[in-house]
Structure 1
Amino acid sequence: MASQGGDLAGKRILVPESRDLDLFAGMMEQHGAETIRCPMVKILDLDDPSPARDWLDRLLAGGFDDIILLTGEGLRRLMTVARGMEREADVIAAIGRTRVFVRGPKPVKALREIGCAPFKSAPAPTTDGVIAALADEDLTGRRVGVQLYPGNPNEPLLEAVRTRGGTPWAVTPYRYANDSETGSVEAAIRDMAAGRIDFVAFTASPQVRRLQEVAEACGLADAFREGFARTRIAAVGPVVADAVVAAGGTVAVSPDSTFHMKPLVNAIRRLLTEGDGSGRA
């Protein structure tokens, strides 16, 4: 529910977030926005945790010299598997003995939750950023555990490890499931095409893909293209922004450096308060 006043008053904002939906929507509602809650993607444990267990067994046996963490969720899901193996403390100790490279602030936070710290953070929270962080590293003979996320085998990152002499061992410790009913996603696509949504606030790239998938499956590809092109889009960071552009959209606003929900809300507020040069407030 929107509050009576605020610099987002009168704006209808589509919120595809799942895990922190109420928190994120509430941040915008505090500033007057009317939010349309349409959760797109749910994060789930693996149906078969054996690949994650095998990866952790290798870690526990001293099989990794370095670890690359792309997401905080990935580390948390690995720790869930470790608890199931009754080896949580051992896994934490093993992580503490390795050099840990991270893509961004979320894996840093997850590391701190278990009392560990990164060896090096990527200069930008993207695959290219991680590759840049590895650029000065000699990985000759080093064994590198790489935590990936669903739907992206990330061959460029694995190849970057190989190019520097390392041997990558990849694991994807969780999966995505569609969280929203197709009907609510269809309605969001039609609302965008009709100009009834002022902003879409994306916090993860799978949300963009889910919109596309539903549009194509329901015969709404043209409506999606039209709506995506006409609706202002907020992206929480560069990975999400790339997904938006790939889908044919234009990112109207994104946080400058801190890629979290609160800075995203503040960036939307600034754009609406200051104007974007398009004549739209």
Structure 2
Amino acid sequence: MEQSPRAGDLDANAGAGLGDADGHVGGASPVAAEGRAEPSGAPDRPALGEQKLAGAEIWVTAQRRAEDLSAALQRHGASVAVIPTLAVQQRADEATLIERTRALIADGADIVVVTTGFGFRMWMETLNPAGLVPHLLEMLGKTEVLARGPKASGALKQVGVTPAWVAPSESSLEIRDVLVARGVSGLKVAVQLDGTGDPALIRGLREAGAVVLELPLYSYGAPADPVAVGRACAELAGGRFNAVAFTSAPGASGWLTVLDEDQLAQVRARIAAGSLVLSAVGPMTAEPLVALGLPVRYPDRGRMGALVRLVVDQLSD
């Protein structure tokens, strides 16, 4: 089934099964991406003796949960190279985060936005030694909490907080648009930031008159081994790898920044010839690739288990 990319798609790990990495890229793409519906109940483990990916080599660009994704693909017989195209850098300054959280607990907020399950859990881990987790959860229980998709929602529910609304597109831009449309002038909005800092969300809320409290947890940076990424890009252009799997929009963007023009042309040629497929965990992750007109497929459900099944289907057709 073909799909056009939504403004956003997923990240953070919550709920059953394999989770995915978060990312955020705004704006609709003029180029359609290909999607394929995946049965929500399909098993992640192949039948005994079934190795549909035997002989296939797959480049996993993820850093977080890369071992889970790699293991799932290997169970289907694939050879997997885990070469992250970006790195989750050290968590934000803990003293500042704790100070801002104390202020949030003391003063409250009209709205709290949780963008990623990964970031929310990191927030809880950071606050735990200071004994602030029960106080924050009590405050959240009395506050309108919005989640940027099912994974952020799942992380909240794991600690007993039910979000008032979950963005269907899993996009920060949708949250911005909904809040601005209903009016936030004079309201205090606390935002747990994703790895990009969510500049469009923060700017949009402030321009609409909201008082915004930013809660940074982590940030993205250059890959830990840029030489390995550069070498893999050259080998990809030369014919190595049958598929490249992406789990976040920043990771996809990082991959594109390493490819030079000649390598990108070779990637396009390989895709056209059917010797290479690009797979993303969801439309938001696919957005940087789609913006350059690269054919990319993603499952209907933004989960890595669904991504694995999609890759299996693509390479075993």
Fold-level match, TM-score > 0.5?
A: yes
Give the deviation of 1:21 after TM superposition: 1.5
TM-score, structure 2 normalization: 0.74
**Structure 2 residue aligned with 1:255:** 299
After superposition, the C-alpha distances for 1:151-204 in whole angstroms (9 at most, x for unaligned) are 34422x234434665332222211234454223212210121012211111001
Runs of 5+ consecutive residues of structure 1 not aligned to the other structure: 274-280
Give the deviation of 1:222 after TM superposition: 2.7
Match of 2:153 among 102, 105, 108: 108
Match of 2:88 among 43, 50, 59: 43
Match of 1:117 among 162, 172, 176: 162
Q: Structure 2 counterpart of 1:250, which letter?
A: L
* Pairing 1:167–2:211 present: yes
**Matches of 1:228 and 1:95, distance apart in 2:** 47
After superposition, residues 1-281 of structure 1 pair within 5 angstroms as 5-46=50-91, 48-134=93-179, 137-155=182-200, 157-162=201-206, 166-213=210-257, 215=258, 221-229=260-268, 230=270, 231-246=276-291, 248=292, 250-256=294-300, 258-273=301-316, 281=317
Identity of aligned residues (%): 27
Do the aligned partners of residues 88 and 37 (structure 1) sit closer, same or farther apart at CA in structure 2, a change above 3 Å counting? same
After superposition, the C-alpha distances for 1:226-249 in whole angstroms (9 at most, x for unaligned) are 344334211111221112234x35
Report the more deviating stretch, 198-207 or 161-170: 161-170
RMSD between superposed Cα atoms in Å = 2.6
How many equivalent pairs are there? 265
TM-score, structure 1 normalization: 0.83
Q: Structure 2 counterpart of 1:84, which letter?
A: P
**Matches of 2:135 and 2:245, distance apart in 1:** 40
**Matches of 2:125 and 2:170, distance apart in 1:** 24
Q: Structure 2 counterpart of 1:87, which letter?
A: L
**Structure 2 residue aligned with 1:277:** none
Give the deviation of 1:269 after TM superposition: 2.3
Give the SS at the match of 1:115.
coil
**Structure 2 residue aligned with 1:276:** none
Runs of 5+ consecutive residues of structure 2 not aligned to the other structure: 1-47, 271-275
